[in-house]
């Protein structure tokens, strides 16, 4: 009886841990990068574009919109 209960408890714990790892991996992929502040240099990594793919600016860069329709925003 005790052996059966311990095996069942171990199986439940293993499943719970694997679900937790899967949720953590899924949440990591959904990490949202905040938008850059317009007219200010970035003080953190931020997303300069509103579409896909994101245009990532690094600290010290400025997010500049492009005046040409084919070009997207850029970091300078």
What pLDDT digit, counting tens, does each position of 14-39 carry?
A: 665 656 655 556 555 667 888 888 77
> What pLDDT sits at residue 23?
59
> What pLDDT sits at residue 57?
92
The per-residue pLDDT for range 40-55, each reduced to its tens digit, is 889 899 998 877 788 8
Cβ 49 vs Cβ 64: under 8 Å: no
Number of separate domains in the chain:
2
Do 39 and 68 fall into the same domain? yes
Do 39 and 73 fall into the same domain? yes
Cβ 36 vs Cβ 56: under 8 Å: no
Whether 69 has a pLDDT exceeding 70, the answer reads: no
Do 46 and 73 fall into the same domain? yes
The residue count of the chain comes to 76
Do 37 and 72 fall into the same domain? yes
Do 25 and 39 fall into the same domain? no
Alpha carbon distance, N-terminus to C-terminus of the chain: 69
Range of the domain at 65: 33-76
> What pLDDT sits at residue 46?
92
> What pLDDT sits at residue 18?
59
């Amino acid at each position: 009886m005790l052996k059966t209960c311990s095996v069942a408890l171990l199986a439940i714990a293993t499943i719970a841990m694997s679900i937790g790892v899967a949720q953590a991996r899924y949440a990591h992929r959904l990490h949202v990068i905040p938008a850059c502040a317009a007219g200010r240099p970035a003080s953190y990594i931020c997303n300069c574009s509103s579409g896909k793919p994101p245009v990532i600016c690094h600290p010290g860069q400025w997010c500049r919109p492009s005046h040409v329709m084919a070009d997207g925003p850029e970091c300078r």
